[in-house]
Amino acid sequence: MNEFHQTPSHSAPDPSHEDGSVYDGLLGTDSSQWAFGTDFEDPLAGVDTTVPDGVDHRMLAAYCLALADDALVFSHRLSEWCSNAPDLEEDIALANIALDLLGQARLLLARAAAADPDVVPVLPEGSPVPAEDALAFFREADEFRNVRFVEVPNGDFAHTVARVLLFATARLAVLDRLTGSRDAVLAAVAAKGVKELTYHRDYAGRWFLTLARGTEESRRRLVAALDQLWPLYPEMLATHPVEAAAAEAGVGVDPATVAAETDVVLEQVLAMSGVDRPQRASLAGVDGRTGRDGLHTEALSRMLAEMQVVARAHPMGQW
C-alpha cells in the first residue's frame, strides 16, 4: 500500500459524549482543525518500494532494521537531553539532531516493513498503528538490531559530544556510500541523511575541540568520556553477515570498508584537540553475538520500557 487517499483524519468530537472535552464545541465540524497529530501518514506514500531484482527481501529488511535501529535508539538517548542540556542552544541542537535521526529511522523502518511485512509485530486486528510504529514500539530488546554503542546510558555533556562525534563520523561515511545503493529508497534516504549528518559531525567536532582545549575540568571529562565509549566503538565498523550480504547484493554498505576513511576524520579531531586515542580493547560479544544479533546491554531494555510504555498500553490508540 504505497499511496493513500486522504479522508478526513478525525471527526470533530461530540460534546454531548462523556469523552468530549470543553473545547469540543469550539471546533465545529471542520475536520481540518485536526490536520496535525491525529492521523498517521505513510512516510513512503507513493514511493516505489519494489525490491530490486535478485535481492532477497528478507535480507534487505534486516539490513534496513540495523540502520534504522541505530538511528532510533540514539535519537531517543539524545532526546533525553531535552530541558537538561548545559544551555538553551545545546538543548535545541541536541533535539534537532535527535529529530533528524528519528526521521531517518522512520523512513528506514517503513522501508523494512515494505520489503518484508513479516518483520512487523502483529497487533490486534483493527489496530491503527502503522508498520514503522509497530516496529519501534512493539519489538522486544532482543529484536532490536542496533549496535550497543548507541544504547548505553547518557553520561555528562562531554560523553554525548564524544558519542555524537564517533556515531556521526561512522554513519556519515556509511550513508555517503549508500547513496549508490541499488535500492532507490535506501539511496534517497542516504542522500538526505548525508546532508544532516554533516551538520551533526561538525557540531560534535567543534564541541570536542572546545572541551579538549577548554578548562582542565572540561578536558578531564572529555578524555574520560572517550575512554568509556572506546570499547563500544569498533562494533559500529565491524562487518555483520547481514551487512556483508547487503553489500554483496549492491544494496548496502559493509561498514568495515569505511573504517579507514572514518579513522582519518577522527584523527583530524584528535590531533587538533591534542587528545590521545584510548588504549582499550573492544567490548566482546557473547558467544560471538553483538548488538546486530539482538544481544544487548541491560540499558536497552530499560530505555525501551520507557520509550514504549504508552504505545504498548494503547495498541488500538489513535494519536
Partner 1 sequence: MTTAYAVAATVTDPEMPMLTLEDLGVLRDVREDADGSVDVAITPTYSGCPAMATMRDDLVHRLRDAGYADVRVRVELSPAWSSDWITDRGRAALAEHGISPPGAAPIASGPVALNLLPTRRAVACPRCRSTAVELTSEFGPTACKALYRCTDCLEPFEHVKEI
**In the complex, which residues of this chain contact partner 1 (CB under 8 A)?**
2-6, 9, 32, 35-37, 39, 41-47, 89-90, 92-93, 95-97, 99-104, 106-107, 172-173, 176, 184-185, 187-189, 191-196, 198-199, 201-203, 205-206, 209, 261, 265, 268-269, 272
Q: Alpha helix (H) ranges present in 116-240? A: 131-137, 157-178, 184-212, 216-229, 234-237
Which cell goes with 211?
572541551
Phi-psi sector, 59: left (phi>0), alpha (psi -120 to 50), beta? alpha
User: CB 159 → partner 1: shortest distance, Å?
Assistant: 19
Looking up cell 556519515, which residue turns up? 172
Contact 150, 133 (CB under 8 A): no
In the complex, minimum distance from the CB of residue 103 to partner 1, in angstroms, rounded to a whole number:
3
CB-nearer residue toward partner 1: 187 or 295: 187
- Cβ 115 to partner 1, closest distance in Å? 15
Residue 18 CB, shortest distance to partner 1, in Å, is 28
Q: Let me know how many helices (H) and strands (E) the chain has, helices first.
A: 11, 0
Query: What are 289's strand-pairing partners?
Result: 286
Give the SS3 label for residue 297: coil
User: Which residue number, 95 or 311, has a Cβ lying nearer to partner 1?
Assistant: 95
Judged by beta carbon, residue 98 or residue 134, the one nearer partner 1 is 98
CB of 215 to partner 1, least distance (A): 19
Report how far residue 222's alpha carbon sits from residue 270's, in angstroms, rounded to the nearest whole number.
11
Query: To 10 degrees, what angle do helices 57-79 and 88-115 make?
Result: 160
Q: Which amino acid is at 101?
A: L
Q: Between residues 141 and 270, which has the closer beta carbon with respect to partner 1?
A: 270
**Beta carbon of residue 266, minimum distance to partner 1 (angstroms, whole number):** 9
Q: Nearer Cβ to partner 1, position 159 or 201?
A: 201
Q: Which residues pair with 286 in a beta bridge?
A: 289
C-beta closer to partner 1: residue 15 or 274: 274
